[in-house]
């Protein structure tokens, strides 16, 4: 597969029609920033992830683009090439820098989140595509860590029989009901008290600028049925690296302003639902129960309902990227 790193993004997998941003989404959050320190250079190269709703993908150095294009589904992220790591390495090479100097370079990446978010300013782990990129060029990381390592809390752990682990992955026939069953879900599951506690916590929160969380029945019903579940992929992805998922709306407690910003661009309201990959992306739902992911490089449409969204994430299917109107 060749990634579309030079032109507009497209959705290769047939799927639901992606909602249109009716207004510009000018907010940059969430994002990540990085600093690349090179031997013999007094000041580090600095940069952030690509503007999230930009029409066009970033232009990368041919060596970077070639490596990312060669990645298989186990390491290919949906946002490959949009992270600051790829941009800074490309900048060094495009300015005539020697690729051999990268072997002694050090990179640091940090989360940029809303004021009051405890993750703001903390080290941001590299995505799988960037981890492969850094390893190839020999760049050392201060922020090294595996995405998904912090999926902790009052969740139900995925239990997979050994014969399932040894079998085919999502790309060979992913069964969502099976994955939900391993995570502890069953028909009729209702965690009402937990959902009410989450609703109380979210309704009592305001961003530093006074933004409240939107709450509505579709979100509450989803929390009650699926809240607390923790799911992991059962094999390699179809097109992209599949991600783990936890259903816990408090993962988005400090995202009220960010969700309000995207909701206004879509002419709707968004409510937090959970997280992907240990906090690498927030999962959110709108009033029509449509599902979205917000990561450091963009906003993504996952499908018209939770089941479609879970299948997209756990099977590594390509989501639709939301872009600003021209």
Secondary structure of 155-172 in the HEC alphabet?
Answer: CECCCCCHHHHCCCCHHH
Look-up of token digits 């999502």: 170
Residue with the bigger pLDDT between 50 and 32: it is 32
Has residue 144 got a pLDDT over 90?
no
> With bands split at pLDDT 50, 70 and 90, how would you rate the model's confidence at 326?
confident
- What's the average model confidence in pLDDT over 50-76? 89
> With bands split at pLDDT 50, 70 and 90, how would you rate the model's confidence at 195?
very high
pLDDT attached to residue 166: 37
> With bands split at pLDDT 50, 70 and 90, how would you rate the model's confidence at 235?
confident
pLDDT attached to residue 150: 46
- What's the average model confidence in pLDDT over 254-281? 95
pLDDT attached to residue 321: 94
Beta bridge partners of 255: none
What the block records as the tokens of 207 is 């961003």
The H-or-E segment that residue 196 falls in is helix 192-203
Q: What angle do CA 172, 176, 179 make, to 5 degrees?
A: 95
- Range with the lowest mean pLDDT among 12-26, 107-121, 260-274? 12-26
What the block records as the tokens of 200 is 């109380």
Virtual torsion, Cα 206, 209, 215, 220, nearest 10 deg: -50
Q: Are strands 106-112 and 140-141 parallel, antiparallel or unpaired?
A: parallel
Q: Give the count of beta carbons closer than 10 Å to the beta carbon of residue 21.
A: 18
What is the C-alpha separation between 128 and 69, in angstroms, rounded?
13
How far is it between the farthest Cα atoms of the chain?
A: 63
- What's the average model confidence in pLDDT over 32-38? 97
What is the C-alpha separation between 85 and 288, in angstroms, rounded?
36
What is the C-alpha separation between 84 and 40, in angstroms, rounded?
21
Residue with the bigger pLDDT between 158 and 15: it is 15
pTM: 0.88
Has residue 162 got a pLDDT over 70?
no
CB-CB contact of 195 with 216 (8 Å):
no
What is the C-alpha separation between 326 and 23, in angstroms, rounded?
10
pLDDT attached to residue 52: 76
Which strands make up the sheet holding 45-48, listed edge to edge? 45-48, 31-37, 106-112, 140-141
- Range with the lowest mean pLDDT among 7-11, 216-220, 262-266, 290-294? 7-11
Average pLDDT in the chain: 88
What the block records as the tokens of 82 is 């949009």
Residue with the bigger pLDDT between 1 and 196: it is 196
Give the length of the chain: 326
Three-state DSSP state, 121 = coil
pLDDT attached to residue 3: 60
CB-CB contact of 265 with 286 (8 Å):
no
- Range with the lowest mean pLDDT among 30-34, 58-62, 200-204? 58-62
Has residue 168 got a pLDDT over 50?
no
């Amino acid at each position: 597969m060749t990634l579309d790193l030079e032109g507009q993004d497209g959705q290769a997998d047939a799927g639901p029609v992606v909602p249109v941003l009716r207004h510009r989404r000018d907010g940059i959050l969430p994002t990540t920033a990085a600093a690349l320190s090179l031997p013999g250079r007094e000041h580090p190269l600095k940069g952030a992830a690509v503007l999230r709703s930009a029409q066009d993908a970033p232009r990368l150095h041919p060596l970077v683009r070639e490596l990312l294009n060669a990645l298989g589904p186990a390491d290919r992220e949906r946002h490959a090439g949009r992270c600051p790591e790829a941009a800074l390495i490309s900048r060094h090479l495009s300015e005539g820098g020697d690729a051999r100097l990268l072997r002694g370079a050090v990179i640091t990446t940090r989360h940029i989140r809303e004021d009051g978010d405890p993750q703001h300013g903390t080290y941001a782990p590299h995505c799988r595509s960037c981890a492969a990129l850094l390893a190839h060029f020999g760049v050392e990381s201060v922020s090294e860590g595996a995405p998904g390592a912090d999926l902790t809390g009052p969740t139900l752990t995925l239990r997979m029989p050994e014969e399932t682990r040894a079998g085919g992955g999502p790309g060979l026939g992913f069964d969502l009901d099976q994955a939900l069953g391993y995570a502890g879900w069953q028909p009729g599951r209702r965690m009402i008290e937990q959902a009410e506690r989450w609703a109380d916590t979210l309704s009592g929160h305001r961003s530093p600028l006074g933004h409240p969380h939107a709450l509505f029945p579709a979100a509450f019903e989803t929390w009650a049925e699926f809240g607390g579940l923790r799911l992991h992929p059962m094999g390699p992805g179809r097109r992209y690296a599949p991600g783990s998922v936890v259903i816990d709306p408090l993962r988005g407690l400090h995202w009220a302003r960010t969700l309000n910003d995207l909701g206004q661009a879509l002419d709707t309201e968004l409510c937090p639902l959970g997280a992907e990959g240990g906090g690498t992306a927030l999962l959110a739902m709108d009033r029509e129960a449509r599902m979205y992911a917000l990561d450091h490089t963009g906003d993504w449409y996952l499908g018209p309902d939770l089941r479609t969204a879970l299948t997209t994430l756990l099977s590594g299917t390509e989501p639709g990227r939301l872009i600003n109107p021209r």
